[in-house]
Chain A
């Protein structure tokens, strides 16, 4: 039997010995979509970083694609938040997507036809093939997010991690991203994405993990995105969460 994409058993993660999220129990198999849901500052990003081996596992057992997190890096893909990047940086869309091929290419081997094709295909999938020569920073926030998704696809990961992929993203881009994510998971890629948008989580995820300092609930959206678990996770702000968005708490 193939190893689970992700298996966390009573895990605490954090930085420099200080826990950020505790008590995480997760199991994700190939092709499954997991949404990490919680308010801003709940530790969703830290949890994602821990899967990449970039945050400490302080307790429990974390297994990523059959390996300790840091050793699975070649098999995982990561889509960071666009607004952490320097929009002035002189780098073209094609160059950004090509970064996804660096692992296969090494540092100085010339680009092969296969790499070029992988880049074109990835850009085509996110609907930005005609933007390849543009400077990354001239694109809209949603388009940048799609470029970063294309970069991750070009590396053909078995587990894809996305940090708030719909933050500041227009409707067209959101639709394009959701479509690609569904295709990827249908083809067997496991997905982990963080969001504070309950509608997105309900629509896209097979599995929802509610976090806020600790794991409060995990399970299918129908069981987790309900009044009780949401109140426990969000506390008194269960009705009116981040960004002034209203949460429809179902009875």
Chain B
């Protein structure tokens, strides 16, 4: 018998991979203030995943397609002067979610599976899912490493980057699509509603501890993986839904970091900048 024949081992492996993925991209999401966009993405993948399961194709494919539509749509909207990107993103968020809900309701006997889309089902992860998560992790890590300079320049100083000859619109799209790949990969494990907390909370917590991009990224990955493992343990110990306990743990890490960084500031003021406003 191989290790991946055991449900719990598979879940642990998936949680580690998903945590690393979420931590890596989370730093970009937090630093670029794309949390709301990511929220919209998680909800917009929902109708794609439902449609894919109705048609009978791979759920990832469904999520990727609808997510890509949203990513490209938001990128196009933010390029237009005077467009309210937040309003457009918000409409896409609830519109996408409504479409998913309508699709679910149109199918008899389908609603039992609804909750697995919403809060994930890490215990049903198969060897196939593990492989696709691992592939996504390698791909995302490669993109972030190879495109670190243009992503940093375009994120920090779009005007300066354009003046230096960078096509910032294209690099924004690269980032949005990378976020989308992460969202689609993470959603089956922790669900559309809960994915955001695993992506944003560990990175936001890491942001409190460090100003340095590399340190932040490493810390975010550790926080996300630890949240995943602790949440998984809590779920099997106290019989709570895994997605929910993972999300709660990640939120707890953020809360604890905030308190600890504040306390440290009180004990030794000036050792580090205070919590960002």
Q: Is the CB of B160 within 8 A of A78?
A: yes
Q: Is the CB of A73 within 8 A of B165?
A: yes
Asked whether B273 is an interface residue with its Cβ less than 8 Å from the other chain, the reply is: yes
Q: Is the CB of A88 within 8 A of B276?
A: yes
Give bound CA distance, A107 to B156, whole Å: 16
Asked whether A103 is an interface residue with its Cβ less than 8 Å from the other chain, the reply is: yes
Other-chain contact of A90, B31, B146, B159, B161 (Cβ < 8 Å): B31
Contact A73:B164 (CB < 8 A) given known A86-B156, A90-B207, A99-B153: yes
Give bound CA distance, A84 to B160, whole Å: 10
Give bound CA distance, A163 to B163, whole Å: 12
Q: Is the CB of A78 within 8 A of B164?
A: yes
Give bound CA distance, A138 to B212, whole Å: 13
Q: Is the CB of A135 within 8 A of B164?
A: no
Other-chain contact of B212, A73, A92, A151 (Cβ < 8 Å): A92
Asked whether A85 is an interface residue with its Cβ less than 8 Å from the other chain, the reply is: yes
Q: Is the CB of B273 within 8 A of A80?
A: no
Asked whether A139 is an interface residue with its Cβ less than 8 Å from the other chain, the reply is: no
Residue of B nearest to A86 (CB): B156
Give bound CA distance, A90 to B219, whole Å: 14
Asked whether B256 is an interface residue with its Cβ less than 8 Å from the other chain, the reply is: no
Residue of A nearest to B164 (CB): A103
Q: Is the CB of A103 within 8 A of B165?
A: yes
Q: Is the CB of B162 within 8 A of A54?
A: yes
A210-228 toward B: CB 8 Å interface, digit per residue (1/0)? 0000000000000000000
Residue of A nearest to B161 (CB): A99
Q: Is the CB of A95 within 8 A of B160?
A: no
Give bound CA distance, A149 to B156, whole Å: 16
Asked whether A199 is an interface residue with its Cβ less than 8 Å from the other chain, the reply is: no
Asked whether A8 is an interface residue with its Cβ less than 8 Å from the other chain, the reply is: no
Report A-chain residues with C-beta under 8 Å of the C-beta of B31: 89-90
In B29-82, the 8 Å CB interface with A consists of 31, 81
Asked whether A59 is an interface residue with its Cβ less than 8 Å from the other chain, the reply is: no
In B146-160, the 8 Å CB interface with A consists of 146-147, 149-150, 152-153, 155-157, 159-160
Contact A85:B211 (CB < 8 A) given known A90-B216, A95-B152, A107-B150: no
Q: Is the CB of B156 within 8 A of A91?
A: yes
Report A-chain residues with C-beta under 8 Å of the C-beta of B150: 102, 107
Give bound CA distance, A138 to B81, whole Å: 30
Give bound CA distance, A146 to B161, whole Å: 18
- Taking the closest CB of chain A, its distance from the CB of B181, in whole angstroms, is 20
Q: Is the CB of A80 within 8 A of B207?
A: no
Report A-chain residues with C-beta under 8 Å of the C-beta of B164: 73, 78, 99, 102-103, 155
Q: Is the CB of B163 within 8 A of A99?
A: no
B122-160 toward A: CB 8 Å interface, digit per residue (1/0)? 000000000000000000000000110110110111011
Residue of A nearest to B153 (CB): A99
A67-111 toward B: CB 8 Å interface, digit per residue (1/0)? 000000110101010001110111110011001001101011000
Give bound CA distance, A71 to B146, whole Å: 26
- Taking the closest CB of chain A, its distance from the CB of B215, in whole angstroms, is 9
- Taking the closest CB of chain A, its distance from the CB of B14, in whole angstroms, is 29
Residue of A nearest to B213 (CB): A90
Residue of A nearest to B166 (CB): A102
Q: Is the CB of A99 within 8 A of B211?
A: no
- Taking the closest CB of chain B, its distance from the CB of A7, in whole angstroms, is 20
Asked whether A169 is an interface residue with its Cβ less than 8 Å from the other chain, the reply is: no
Q: Is the CB of B146 within 8 A of A107?
A: yes
Report B-chain residues with C-beta under 8 Å of the C-beta of A15: 81
Contact A135:B147 (CB < 8 A) given known A74-B165, A99-B164, A102-B164: no
Q: Is the CB of B163 within 8 A of A89?
A: no
Q: Is the CB of A105 within 8 A of B152?
A: no
Q: Is the CB of B155 within 8 A of A89?
A: yes
Residue of B nearest to A108 (CB): B146
Q: Is the CB of A85 within 8 A of B157?
A: yes
Report B-chain residues with C-beta under 8 Å of the C-beta of A102: 149-150, 153, 164
Report A-chain residues with C-beta under 8 Å of the C-beta of B212: 90, 92
Q: Is the CB of B213 within 8 A of A91?
A: yes
Other-chain contact of B160, A16, A80, A89, A105 (Cβ < 8 Å): A80
**Could you jot down 24 A-B contacts, CB within 8 Å?**
A52-B163, A54-B162, A73-B164, A74-B165, A76-B163, A78-B160, A78-B163, A78-B164, A80-B157, A80-B160, A85-B156, A85-B157, A90-B207, A90-B210, A90-B213, A90-B216, A91-B213, A99-B149, A99-B153, A102-B149, A102-B153, A103-B164, A108-B149, A135-B273
Other A-B pairs beyond A73-B164, A78-B164, A96-B156, 6, CB < 8 Å: A78-B160, A80-B160, A89-B156, A91-B213, A92-B211, A92-B212
